[in-house]
């Protein structure tokens, strides 16, 4: 053990360590808990707590100004409120929508007063996802109200879905919906009051007070995100409108520009565009082998307007490496990496937008679970949608792979890509299939 002088010198040279140590060992909460039995008058500790609370609020305001990563600021809020409430842990569930269906997903999980941000931030590959109609979390998002559940075993809305996956035992909880006007952005949870059977009314007030800060943070982030989305939509509209009047004679370059520019607005690792055969009635010489019995009649999938689903050309945009690469493949094989799953064929047949996360766990389509080529590229999440002309005929399928931030594609990505794919046809309905000539 060091002598007094060396300890003093160390503390002087390491003020942050000293602050963290005394915050942990000599905070009003720790002192009050330690001497709870012998403490008669707690008014002095209440005064200290008010000072401590003011410091916490001041720190949070500073964080809001300095941090641009929403999750980091929310993490700090949850750490503080977990300590003040004496909760075992806190979590934040984000609310998003895919394919028009809302869902909740773990964003910050198992936050404690001493846990690290990196440990609590959930990797998109390890998210726990569940529908909005499940559990107290889902009910909070649906009702848009705070809830105090003293005993989860007596609440018929409680679901042990997450407990079963983590091995944790939830006994009681507080929940709070993060709102931006009338829209729910996510739900914060505090679990298992330490030293008591349930969270009190006073806990509810504190919970509400601090989560208002979290709500401001979430709203600020949501506003910035939506501004970015609307800005990208506007850029797509402006760009597409200008291209309608520009270089309409050079169709191949026009088509390439339309697709290549998508990468600016949708930050994905790869995307692939499959062009469909537009033939509705076969020529005599094509039908003759079938009539003679030499070739069996076509029995595969068809587009909504009755055409056979045949991809006669695929254009791959490989953006994940240091150098972007574009490959044009006429007459692609059925085992081409973008076609082999069957998803583009399904979209061609039904005309649906398909937004899929964690494709390795999907059992309907046959996505490759290993690397699709020598580059080592692995498909994680996919957004596939039809490209239509003025007649609403499906002329191709655009499939986007792996958002670069690791998150699944969301409804805003769907809107941006759908808008681009439709608008590029305003100037020329034959833009896509003339290219293949």
Model pLDDT for residues 255-300, shown as the tens digit of each residue: 566 666 666 677 889 989 888 888 877 665 567 666 667 778 777 8
> What is the band of 320 on the pLDDT scale with cuts at 50, 70, 90?
confident
Mean pLDDT in the chain?
Answer: 78
Residue 128: pLDDT over 60 = yes
> Which class for 323: exposed (0-12), middle (13-18), buried (19 or more C-beta within 10 A)?
exposed
Residue 57: pLDDT over 80 = no
Mean pLDDT, rounded, for 18-39: 52
- Tell me which of 145-159, 178-192, 412-426 is least confident: 412-426
Residue 250: pLDDT over 70 = no
Mean pLDDT, rounded, for 13-25: 61
Of 295, 228, 226, which is closest to residue 264 (Cα–Cα)? Answer: 228
Pull the structure tokens for residue 79: 């750490």
The CB density around residue 31, as the number of other CB atoms within 10 Å, is 15
CATH topology of domain 246-435: Beta-Lactamase (3.30.450)
Dihedral, CA atoms, 140, 141, 144, 147, nearest 10 degrees?
10
Of 187, 106, 113, 115, which is closest to residue 144 (Cα–Cα)? Answer: 187
Residue 62: pLDDT over 90 = no
Please tell me the predicted confidence (pLDDT) of residue 95.
92
Of 354, 381, 403, which is closest to residue 101 (Cα–Cα)? Answer: 354
> Which class for 349: exposed (0-12), middle (13-18), buried (19 or more C-beta within 10 A)?
middle
Q: Hey, which residues does 270 pair with through a beta bridge?
A: 318, 401
What is the percent of the chain where pLDDT is above 70? 68
Residue 5 CB partners (closer than 8 Å, separation 6+): none
**CATH 3.30.450.40 domain locations along the chain:** 41-224, 246-435
Q: Which CATH class, in words, describes the domain spanning 41-224?
A: alpha beta
Residue 28: pLDDT over 80 = no
Residue 426: pLDDT over 50 = no
Report the alpha-carbon distance of residue 215 to residue 232 in Å, rounded: 25
What would you report as the CA-atom Rg of the chain, rounded to the nearest whole angstrom? 28
Task: Using DSSP bridges, classify how beta strands 382-388 and 354-356 pair: parallel, antiparallel or unpaired.
Answer: antiparallel
Please tell me the predicted confidence (pLDDT) of residue 47.
44
Residue 137: pLDDT over 50 = yes
Please tell me the predicted confidence (pLDDT) of residue 377.
94
What φ, ψ does residue 212 adopt, rounded to 5°? -60, -40
């Amino acid at each position: 053990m060091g002598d007094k002088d060396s300890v003093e010198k160390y503390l002087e040279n390491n003020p942050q360590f000293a602050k963290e140590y005394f915050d942990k060992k000599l905070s009003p909460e720790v002192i009050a808990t330690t001497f709870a039995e012998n403490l008669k008058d707690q008014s002095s500790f209440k005064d200290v707590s008010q000072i401590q609370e003011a410091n916490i609020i001041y720190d949070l305001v500073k964080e809001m100004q300095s941090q641009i990563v929403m999750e980091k600021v929310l993490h700090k809020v949850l750490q503080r409120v977990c300590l003040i409430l004496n909760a075992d842990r806190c979590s934040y569930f984000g609310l998003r929508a895919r394919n028009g269906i809302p869902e909740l997903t773990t964003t910050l999980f198992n936050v404690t007063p001493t846990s690290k941000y990196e440990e609590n931030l959930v990797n998109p590959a390890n998210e726990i996802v569940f529908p909005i109609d499940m559990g107290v979390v889902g009910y909070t998002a649906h009702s848009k109200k705070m809830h105090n559940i003293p005993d989860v075993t007596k609440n018929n809305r409680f679901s042990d879905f997450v407990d079963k996956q983590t091995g944790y035992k939830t006994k009681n909880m507080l929940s709070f919906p993060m709102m931006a006007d009338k829209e729910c952005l996510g739900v914060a949870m505090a679990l298992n009051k330490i030293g008591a059977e349930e969270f009190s009314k006073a806990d509810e007030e504190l919970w509400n007070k601090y989560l208002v800060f979290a709500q401001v943070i979430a709203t600020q982030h949501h506003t910035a995100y939506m501004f970015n989305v609307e800005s990208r939509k506007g850029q797509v509209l402006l760009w597409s409108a200008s291209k309608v009047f520009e270089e309409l004679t050079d169709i191949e370059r026009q088509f390439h520009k339309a697709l290549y520019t998508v990468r600016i607005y949708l930050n994905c690792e790869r995307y692939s565009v499959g062009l469909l055969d537009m033939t509705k009635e076969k020529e005599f010489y094509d039908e003759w082998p079938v009539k003679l019995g030499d070739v069996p009649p076509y029995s595969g999938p068809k587009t909504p307007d009755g055409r056979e689903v045949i991809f006669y050309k695929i254009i791959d945009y490989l953006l994940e490496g240091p150098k972007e690469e574009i490959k044009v493949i006429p007459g692609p094989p059925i085992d081409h990496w973008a076609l082999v799953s069957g998803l583009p064929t399904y979209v061609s047949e039904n005309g649906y937008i398909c937004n899929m996360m964690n494709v390795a766990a999907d059992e309907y389509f046959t996505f490759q679970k290993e690397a699709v080529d020598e580059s080592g590229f692995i498909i994680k999440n996919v957004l596939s949608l039809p490209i239509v002309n003025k007649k609403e005929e499906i002329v191709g399928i655009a499939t986007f792979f792996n958002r670069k931030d690791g998150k699944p594609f969301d409804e805003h990505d769907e809107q941006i890509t759908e808008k681009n794919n439709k608008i590029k046809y305003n100037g020329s309905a034959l833009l896509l299939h003339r290219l293949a000539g």
